[in-house]
Amino acid sequence: MRLIVVNYSMSSKSLVFSHQREVVRELSQFFETVEVFTTEVSSEPLPRNVKVSHIPWKANSPLSNVVTILKLLYPALIRNRTSVLFTHMTDVHAAILAPLTWLLKMRHILCMPMPKTLDILFGRLSLFPRLSLLPQDLAILA
């Protein structure tokens, strides 16, 4: 099975998101290939089955960012319809991709720390039922 990951950083030097690189490294043990789309790349070594692509994110350019995300990820999603999409703490990216993953009937997992109220509102009453908001769903991936 293949995994597509969208996150903010693949650098261990990131002060806020350095753990995202470690999550990808750990998950890569359970998948044939892992394709990562990130806004911050690093030259640090990764497992052989991990491929990293850079998402050029522009501050204060929301329309440009939406087009960039769709342009980069649409081909990957079409090529890998049976893959799992894991958006790690990237709520904006997940919102942009959710309609597309719903149309493609792809499994989309959003891992995001959030208050229980939001989990109840969005996790149980979602417009996109294939978009999961619960971190426990990562257990399904293994």
* 122 or 11, which is more confident: 11
User: Where would I find the H helices in 1-142?
Assistant: 18-27, 62-79, 91-104, 116-118, 124, 138-141
pLDDT band for 121, please (50, 70, 90 cuts).
Answer: very low
Question: pLDDT for 20-69, tens place per residue?
Answer: 888 898 889 889 999 999 999 988 899 999 999 999 988 888 899 999 99
Give the domain extent around 92: 2-141
Q: How many other CB atoms are found less than 10 A from the CB of residue 52?
A: 17
The CATH number that applies at residue 130 is 3.40.50.11930
Prediction pTM value: 0.77
Tell me how many domains the chain contains: 1
